[in-house]
């Protein structure tokens, strides 16, 4: 049986999971693949540090170059994370024509264009299934399983921390701050939690999906990103009464054209924000730390990919699925059977958020007196923005009361400008809170 040697950089949570899974299921993989995978060298920061799993000292080195430069190592696994030294490691391996497997979403989001170009130049391949949604095979599905499709829309719940917080807020009627504190206590949220709750993690994953689906590299700076800090339990309550659930979504979809685009140009919305989605939709029932990606292809129609998006074992499973593909490619003499990234849409751009059209949920805190709604409606009417429904619940006392508006289709630019004016009204006592409504149809 042919042997393929692996070199791994990083033996933390994910690296430990890969070692553990390969130790327990290596024979199974060999029987299925006809290739024996041998983990022959592992680079770590320190030989003395404690690790999630026991790794023989004979495999360890503190010099990552011993992994990358070893001519007997066929596949390099980069599992250190970050965008600094990890980039140097990956480029060094690719420049030698070696296959690289990475779980590093931040690296791909920030430097993917350079990495894929380097891989192409040196006849190397770069696998990255584990960079998006852990154990869900969404990258392979988009690259291969759905290769015959143009993707009209992709909606992803791609951050387990945010989904866990929003799920508990809905199910328990709990405050954001209280659930976040509890999530940190149980290890579902980092300290500080900013990368998750401010949408940065979801931004990296959504950008990778958008780039892969539409064939042009999406600059992370072009992705409008909002987190979940503004979601309050009162919003969960009103959304539920209106037939919706609030989820943090990564959104990739072809824009509805309001004017003729440049000849042959695709305009793609790529965004991350909390949105109201119909409670009857399957994504509304993806709860706790689970991830899901809803894909609409022009040939296949609708598909849903669901599973654990993070954690040692889910991510290790994705890493080893890439290793298996890479090993088979090497066995069959086709190192780059499927290119890691193919730029097929030459005329495409990310649509600025101001040009995106959607419906809206707006929560205002207003003085409880006659004429308030008239003042707000006048501003919206002047902007040619229609109100579809109004809720002013009873039982709220004090200097201000909540006022909930559901808004018809409007551009983000029009809505943003109108809310600035509304926020300056003397009868409005707090910054307006706005969430977009996605019907997913």
Domain presence at residue 340? no
Asked if 331 is an active-site residue, the reply is no
Give the model's pLDDT for residue 385.
98
Q: 3-state DSSP helix/strand/coil percent for the chain, to nearest 5?
A: 40, 25, 35
Residues 293 and 192 in one domain: yes
Residues 31 and 125 in one domain: yes
Q: Considering its fold, how many domains does the chain have in total?
A: 3
Domain presence at residue 166? yes
Residue that has been written with the tokens 């999406």 in this structure:
218
Calpha distance 242→389 (Å, rounded): 10
Residues 267 and 218 in one domain: yes
CB 308 within 8 A of CB 17: no
**Domain region containing 264:** 142-308
Residues 10 and 128 in one domain: yes
Q: Return the CATH number at 242.
A: 3.30.360.10
Domain presence at residue 39? yes
Domain presence at residue 349? no
Calpha distance 363→258 (Å, rounded): 28
136-149 per-residue burial string, b: 16 or more CB within 10 A, e: under 16: bbbbbbbbeebeeb
The strand ranges marked E within 46-157 are: 60-61, 75-78, 99-102, 126-127, 151-157
Residues 149 and 240 in one domain: yes
Calpha distance 230→80 (Å, rounded): 33
Domain presence at residue 347? no
Give the model's pLDDT for residue 409.
97
As beta bridge partners, residue 41 has 7
Give the model's pLDDT for residue 331.
93
pTM here?
Answer: 0.94
Per-residue pLDDT of the chain (441 residues; tens, 9 = 90+): 899 999 999 999 999 999 999 999 999 999 999 999 999 999 999 998 888 899 999 999 999 999 999 999 999 999 999 999 999 999 999 999 999 999 999 999 999 999 999 999 999 999 999 999 999 999 999 999 999 999 999 999 999 999 999 999 999 999 999 999 999 988 888 889 999 999 999 999 999 999 999 999 999 999 999 999 999 999 999 999 999 999 999 999 998 755 545 566 889 999 999 999 999 999 999 999 999 999 999 999 999 999 999 899 999 999 999 999 999 999 999 888 888 888 776 678 999 999 999 999 999 999 988 999 999 999 999 999 999 999 987 766 667 899 999 999 999 999 999 999 999 999 999 999 999 999 998
Residues 93 and 156 in one domain: no
Residues 147 and 263 in one domain: yes
CB 130 within 8 A of CB 308: no
Residues 281 and 150 in one domain: yes
Calpha distance 209→218 (Å, rounded): 9
Residues 211 and 267 in one domain: yes
- Backbone φ and ψ of 235, nearest 5°: -70, -40
Residues 92 and 155 in one domain: no
List 41, 98, 205, 247, catalytic entry: 205
Residues 395 and 295 in one domain: no
Q: Which of 398, 53, 434, 389 is nearest to 230 (CA)?
A: 434
Domain presence at residue 337? no
Give the model's pLDDT for residue 260.
47
Residues 326 and 385 in one domain: no
Domain presence at residue 325? yes
Residues 6+ apart with CB under 8 A from 221: none
Choose one of 273, 296, 331: the last residue of a domain.
Answer: 331
Domain presence at residue 53? yes
């Amino acid at each position: 049986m042919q042997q393929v040697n692996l070199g791994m950089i990083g033996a933390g949570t994910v690296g430990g999971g890969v070692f553990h899974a390969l130790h327990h299921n290596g024979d199974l993989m060999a029987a299925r693949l006809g290739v024996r995978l041998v983990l022959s060298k592992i680079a770590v920061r320190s030989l003395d540090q404690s690790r999630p799993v026991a790794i023989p000292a004979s495999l360890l080195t503190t010099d990552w170059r011993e992994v990358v430069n070893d001519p007997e190592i066929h596949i390099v696994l980069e599992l250190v994370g970050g965008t600094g030294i990890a980039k140097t490691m990956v480029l060094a391996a690719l420049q030698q024509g070696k296959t690289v497997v990475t779980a590093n979403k931040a690296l791909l989001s920030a430097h993917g264009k350079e990495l894929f170009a380097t891989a192409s130049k040196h006849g190397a391949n770069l696998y990255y299934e584990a960079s998006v949604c852990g154990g869900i095979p969404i990258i392979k599905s988009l690259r291969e399983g759905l290769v015959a499709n143009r993707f009209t829309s992709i909606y992803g719940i791609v951050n387990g921390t945010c989904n866990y917080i929003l799920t508990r807020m809905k199910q328990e009627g709990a405050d954001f701050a209280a659930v976040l504190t509890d999530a940190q206590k149980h290890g579902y949220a980092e300290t500080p939690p900013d990368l998750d709750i401010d949408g940065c993690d979801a931004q990296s994953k959504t950008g990778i999906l958008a780039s892969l689906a539409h064939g042009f590299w999406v600059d992370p700076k072009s992705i409008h990103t909002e987190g979940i800090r503004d979601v309050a339990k009162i919003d969960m309550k009103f959304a539920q009464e209106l037939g919706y659930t609030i989820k943090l979504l990564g959104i990739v979809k072809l824009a509805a054209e309001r004017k003729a685009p440049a000849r042959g140009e695709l305009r793609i919305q790529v965004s991350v924000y909390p949105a109201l989605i119909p409670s009857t939709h399957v994504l509304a029932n993806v709860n706790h730390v689970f991830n899901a990606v809803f894909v609409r292809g022009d040939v296949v129609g609708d598909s849903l990919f669901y599973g654990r998006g993070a954690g040692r074992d889910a991510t290790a499973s994705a890493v080893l699925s890439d290793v298996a593909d890479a090993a088979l490619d090497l066995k069959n003499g086709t190192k780059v059977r499927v290119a890691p990234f193919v730029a097929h849409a030459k005329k495409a751009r990310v649509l600025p958020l101001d040009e995106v059209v959607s419906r809206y949920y707006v929560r205002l805190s207003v003085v409880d007196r006659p004429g308030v709604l008239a003042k707000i409606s006048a501003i919206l009417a002047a902007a040619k923005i229609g109100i579809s429904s109004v809720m002013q619940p009873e039982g709220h006392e004090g200097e201000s009361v909540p006022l909930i508006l559901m808004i018809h289709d409007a551009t983000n630019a029009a809505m943003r400008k109108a809310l600035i004016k509304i926020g300056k009204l003397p009868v409005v006592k707090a910054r307006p809170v706005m969430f977009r409504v996605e019907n997913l149809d």
